């Protein structure tokens, strides 16, 4: 009796699964993103972008004739939760690929889970450690802070600047970029004469800037930082009338930065930013123009909020993934992985992506535009 | 010499911010011995509500007034909904309740407003004022004046008014205060309203300098708390001096030693002071009748 009950149960279960499966034949994509928590200003536009684009793609007929199904979890910026959600995505939801890891911390926690499960993962976080050394199933879309340093140093070199002062935030972003900049600064023949730091919640940086101003020979100042710090540095810089060129990082490449620092104080500040930020200023023949303008308009219409670089990272990740599934002609994780690695000339918001077996980022320095703030707006200087 | 002066002015600017936050701690502490860890959230609310009210088209002074009144109302609600029902609980439990309240307010602000960093224009422009080769922004003078004004009002309140003495009496011995006819519930409500209003005023004054977002409260509360401990908890003079001292210490360390050790140096000095004077610089000595 017991035996037959179990058999019946197993039979009916198989029946349910058997019939249910075709109805769920959609391509399942997973995402674990920090929609809330300290990284929410990054994760929020990312999640909104993914949802918007999946709807858009499905409305246009899906991928290879199949609909996309997006499973999004909110990890709140907590690496432990990110790891748990990655496991759930792979084991319970059985997704074919995962996008996410808003921060470097959550990305690094997700990587081993997906590596073991052999499911492709496209990270949305900045650190170079994610793809260096190359891991077979791990890719990412944002440019690295090392590339931002290189872009800035190139511009300094072009302007004959060889001696600079550094003032960096002591938070994760500032510390990481500070390290990456110092690692490559020798290649550009630039010397650091003053190296100051500030805390992420500090309200006044005039002592540090006074010391930089007082050092003889400094020709420019670079501020690797994120959040409110760079805005306060810029305001204090104007207050002290330092009078040297000020370079900010890509971490503050947004219209919000000009507003926070004040147009007057931010006048003349240079920073590397993405094409998305200056969508309207791109020349007609720019390859990225069509992509960034389309995304900007769609996002602003769907959410009523200004578009951000971070949403752009998610946009590119999904585009790369969809492109790979199309070219693979299959939704098998290993086939998708091979196709992602074969991505070539895909135009995204951050740049034109061409991956290879040794490069799982696929961007070069042309992905950055050197921008200058003039009269409270952006200007491309190249 | 201009360097020294610039470090000093920077220290005073930052110190005045700490002092304003520290002053907010004093009233609730004096009324109930509770250190209100939601005080930083009051400062944040002052800034955030002003930002959104002025973005909605209200003139800045009116937006600031609305922010202060709304925050005072939230302070009263905090007392009525969370502190009063737990009246019999020990002080430590009440402090834990305020920590919970601060997390709740932070989360609610994130939902009601947003997660971005905001700022509104300084009251008297951004043209730096030159003093002997060093500079200070006009907004810093507003913050310093605000801290002094709040200090003076609190000093008058606690020493010259009957209700101020009633607040002190309630802290000293709630039962005895009730026996002499003090409405202790009213005193508690009033102290939360005043603390919240002072916090919000601080938020309005410092936002053009420090900027604001839903999560600035914690950092401000920690520094304000450190300043209040240094000066002596519950004493307005202590809050003022402690705040300024902490700010100047940080600026001098950043200027002369290394910006890396700025926070560490300040806390080492605080520890040293508290080791020698556990009540802080101006704290009242506990006297128990035997």
pLDDT tens-digit profile of B58-69? 999 999 999 999
Q: What torsion do the CA atoms of A75, A77, A79, A84 make, to the nearest 10 degrees?
A: 0
Q: Give the phi and the psi of residue A54 in degrees, each rounded to 5.
A: -65, -45
A224 shares a domain with A239? yes
Same domain for A265 and A324, yes or no, is: no
Could you say which of B115, B126, B254 has the minimum Cβ distance to residue A207?
A: B254
* Residues B49, B65: Cα–Cα separation, whole Å: 10
B18 touches B239 (CB < 8 A): no
**Residue B125 pLDDT level (bands cut at 50, 70, 90):** confident
3-state secondary structure B119-182: CCCCCCCCCCEEECCEEECHHHHHHHHHHHHHHHHHHHHHHHCHHHHHHHHHHHCHHHHHHCCC
DSSP string across A160-180: T--EEEEEEESSHHHHHHHHH
Question: What's the pLDDT at B289?
Answer: 60
Question: Is A313 a member of any domain?
Answer: yes
Residue-level pLDDT at B172: 81
Number of H helices and E strands in chain B, helices first, is 11, 2
Residue B235, preceding bond cis, omega within 30 degrees? no
- In the three-class reduction of DSSP (H, G, I as helix; E, B as strand; rest coil), residue B5 is classed as helix
Same domain, A134 and A167: no
CATH architecture of B2-276: Orthogonal Bundle (1.10)
CB contact under 8 A, A41 and B116: yes
In a shared domain, residues A249 and A164: yes
Where are chain B's structural domains?
A: 2-276
On chain A, the residues whose CB falls within 8 A of the CB of B14 are 202-204
- ipTM score of the complex? 0.86
In a domain, A286, yes or no: no
Length of chain B: 290
- Closest partner residue to B115 (CB to CB) among A41, A196, A198 is A41
Suggest the residue from A206, A226, A266 to mutate for an interface test with chain B (most B CBs closer than 10 A).
A206
Same domain, yes or no: A238 and A309: no
Same domain, A118 and A180: no
- Does residue A281 lie within any of the structural domains? no
Domain count within chain A: 2
> What is the pLDDT averaged over residues B258-269?
84
Cα A51 to Cα B28: distance, rounded to the nearest angstrom: 47
A207 vs B259: CA distance, rounded Å: 9
Residue A7 lies in a domain: no
Contact A94, A330 (CB under 8 A): no
Query: In chain A, what residues touch B119 (CB-CB under 8 Å)?
Result: 231, 259-260
| Cβ contact A209:A237 at 8 Å | yes
User: Which of A214, A239, A273 is where one domain is finished?
Assistant: A273
Question: By CA distance, what is B8's nearest residue in A?
Answer: A207
Q: Is residue A135 part of a domain?
A: yes
The band of B286, judged by pLDDT with boundaries at 50, 70 and 90, is: low
Q: What is the model's pLDDT at position A17?
A: 46
- On the question of pLDDT at B201 being above 70, the answer is yes
Inter-residue contact A136 to A116 (CB < 8 Å): no
Q: Give me A328's structure tokens.
A: 């693979």
User: Tens digits of per-residue pLDDT, B71-108?
Assistant: 999 999 999 999 889 878 888 999 999 999 999 999 99
- Rounded to whole angstroms, the Cα distance separating B149 from B283 reads 21
- Chain B closest-CA separation from residue A213 CA (Å): 10
Q: How many residues does chain A have?
A: 382
CA–CA gap between residue B171 and residue B157 (Å, rounded):
15
Is residue A316 a part of any domain in this protein?
Answer: yes
Q: Are B204 and B64 in contact (CB under 8 A)?
A: yes
The answer to whether residues A139 and A170 belong to one domain is no
Residues 6 or more apart from A166 whose CB is under 8 A from it?
Answer: A178, A181, A192, A194, A195, A196, A221, A222, A223, A224
Q: Is B14 near chain A, with CB under 8 Å?
A: yes
Domain containing A258: what range? 146-273
CB contact under 8 A, A203 and B206: yes
Q: Which residues pair with A70 in a beta bridge?
A: A29
Average pLDDT, chain B: 90
Token code pair at residue B275: 């080791």
3-class DSSP state for residue B211? coil
Maximum distance among all alpha carbons in chain B? 61
Domain boundary among A244, A273, A302: A273
Nearest to A44 among B3, B6, B115 (CB): B115
3-state DSSP call for residue A371? strand
Task: Please report, for residues A124, A225, B86, the alpha-carbon distance to residue B164 in angstroms, rounded to integers and kept in the order given.
Answer: 55, 46, 24
- Alpha-carbon distance B190 to nearest alpha carbon in chain A (angstroms): 31
Choose between B263 and B61: higher pLDDT. Answer: B61
Tell me whether strands A68-74 and A369-374 are parallel, antiparallel or unpaired.
unpaired
Mean pLDDT, residues B277-281 taken together: 85
> Which positions in chain B touch A243 (Cβ < 8 Å)?
none
A378: in domain: no
How far is Cα B54 from Cα B169, in angstroms, rounded to an integer?
Answer: 40
Query: Which chain B residues contact residue A238 at CB under 8 A?
Result: 126, 128
B33 touches chain A (CB under 8 A): no
For chain B positions 84-113, those within 8 Å of chain A (CB to CB) are: 110
Mean of pLDDT values over B210-222? 89
Q: Report yes or no: B21 at the A interface, CB cutoff 8 Å.
A: no
Contacts with A210 from chain B: Cβ below 8 Å: 3, 6-7, 10, 255
| Gap from B80 CA to chain A (nearest CA, Å) | 28
Q: Which residues is A292 bridged to in the sheet? A: none
How many beta carbons lie within 10 A of that of residue B112, not counting itself? 11
pLDDT in tens, chain A (382 residues): 445 555 555 555 444 444 444 444 689 999 999 988 778 888 989 999 999 999 999 999 889 889 999 999 999 889 999 999 999 999 999 999 999 889 888 999 999 999 999 999 999 988 888 998 899 999 999 988 889 999 999 999 999 999 999 999 988 788 889 999 999 999 999 999 999 999 888 888 999 999 999 888 999 999 998 888 999 999 999 999 998 999 999 888 888 889 889 888 999 999 998 888 888 888 888 889 999 999 999 999 999 888 888 899 999 999 999 999 999 988 899 999 999 999 999 999 989 999 999 999 999 888 888 999 999 899 998 7
Please indicate, yes or no, whether residues A159 and A56 belong to a single structural domain of this protein. no
A219: domain CATH number? Answer: 3.40.50.2300
Domain-embedded: residue A16: no
| End-to-end C-alpha distance for chain A, whole angstroms | 81
Under DSSP, the state recorded for A82 is: H
């Amino acid at each position: 009796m017991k035996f037959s009950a179990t058999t019946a149960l197993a039979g009916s279960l198989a029946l349910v699964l058997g019939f249910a499966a075709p109805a769920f034949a959609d391509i399942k994509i997973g995402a674990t993103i920090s929609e809330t928590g300290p990284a929410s200003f990054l994760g929020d536009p990312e999640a909104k972008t993914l949802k918007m684009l999946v709807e858009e793609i499905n409305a246009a007929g899906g991928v290879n004739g199949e609909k996309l199904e997006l499973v999004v979890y909110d990890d709140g910026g907590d690496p432990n939760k990110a790891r748990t959600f990655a496991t759930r995505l792979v084991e319970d939801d059985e997704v074919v690929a995962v996008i996410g890891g808003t921060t470097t911390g959550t990305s690094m926690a997700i990587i081993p889970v997906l590596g073991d499960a052999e499911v492709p993962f496209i990270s949305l976080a900045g650190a170079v450690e994610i793809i260096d050394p190359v891991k077979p199933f791990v890719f990412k879309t944002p440019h690295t802070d090392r590339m931002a340093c290189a872009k800035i140093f190139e511009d300094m070199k072009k302007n004959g600047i060889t001696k600079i002062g550094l003032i960096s935030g002591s938070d994760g972003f500032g510390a990481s970029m500070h390290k990456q900049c110092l690692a490559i600064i020798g290649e550009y023949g630039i010397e650091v004469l003053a190296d100051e730091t500030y805390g992420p919640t500090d309200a006044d940086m005039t002592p540090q800037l006074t010391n930089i101003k007082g050092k003889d020979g400094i020709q420019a100042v670079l501020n690797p930082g994120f959040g409110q710090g760079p805005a306060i540095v810029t305001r204090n810089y104007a207050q002290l009338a330092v009078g040297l060129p000020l370079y900010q990082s890509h971490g503050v490449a947004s219209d919000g930065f000009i507003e926070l620092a004040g147009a007057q104080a931010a006048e003349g500040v240079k920073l590397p930013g993405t094409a998305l930020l200056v969508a309207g200023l791109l020349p007609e023949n720019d390859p990225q123009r069509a992509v960034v303008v389309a995304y900007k308009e769609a996002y602003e219409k769907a959410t009523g909020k200004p578009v951000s670089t971070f949403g752009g990272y998610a946009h590119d990740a999904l585009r790369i993934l969809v492109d790979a599934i199309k070219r693979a002609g299959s939704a098998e994780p290993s086939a998708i992985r091979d196709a992602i690695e074969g991505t070539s000339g895909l135009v995204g918001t951050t740049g034109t992506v061409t991956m290879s077996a040794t490069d799982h980022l696929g961007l070069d320095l042309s992905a950055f535009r050197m921008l200058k703030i003039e009269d409270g707006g952006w200007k491309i200087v190249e | 010499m201009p360097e020294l002066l610039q470090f000093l002015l920077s220290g005073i600017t930052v110190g005045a911010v700490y002092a304003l936050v520290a002053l907010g701690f004093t009233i609730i502490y004096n009324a109930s011995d509770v250190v209100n860890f939601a005080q930083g959230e009051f400062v944040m609310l002052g800034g955030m509500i002003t930002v959104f009210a002025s973005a909605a088209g209200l003139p800045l002074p009116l937006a600031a007034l609305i922010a202060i009144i709304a925050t005072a109302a939230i302070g009263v609600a905090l007392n009525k909904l969370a502190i009063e029902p737990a009246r019999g609980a020990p002080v430590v439990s009440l402090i834990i309740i305020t920590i919970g309240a601060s997390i709740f307010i932070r989360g609610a602000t994130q939902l009601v407003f947003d997660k971005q960093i905001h700022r509104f224009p300084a009251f008297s422009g951004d043209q730096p004022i030159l003093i002997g080769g060093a500079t200070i922004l006009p907004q810093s003078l507003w913050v310093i004046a605000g801290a002094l004004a709040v200090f003076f009002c609190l000093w008058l309140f606690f020493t010259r008014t009957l209700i101020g003495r009633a607040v002190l009496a309630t802290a000293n011995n709630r039962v005895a205060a009730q026996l002499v006819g003090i409405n202790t519930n009213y005193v508690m409500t009033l102290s939360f309203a005043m603390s919240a209003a002072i916090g919000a005023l601080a938020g309005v004054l410092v936002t053009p300098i420090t900027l604001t977002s839903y999560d600035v409260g914690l950092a401000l509360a920690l520094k304000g708390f450190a300043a209040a401990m240094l000066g002596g908890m519950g004493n307005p003079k202590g809050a003022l001096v402690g705040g300024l001292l902490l700010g100047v210490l940080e600026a001098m360390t950043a200027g002369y030693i290394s910006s890396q050790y700025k926070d560490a140096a300040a806390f080492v000095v605080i520890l040293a002071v508290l080791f020698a004077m556990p009540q802080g610089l101006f704290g009242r000595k506990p006297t128990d009748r035997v």
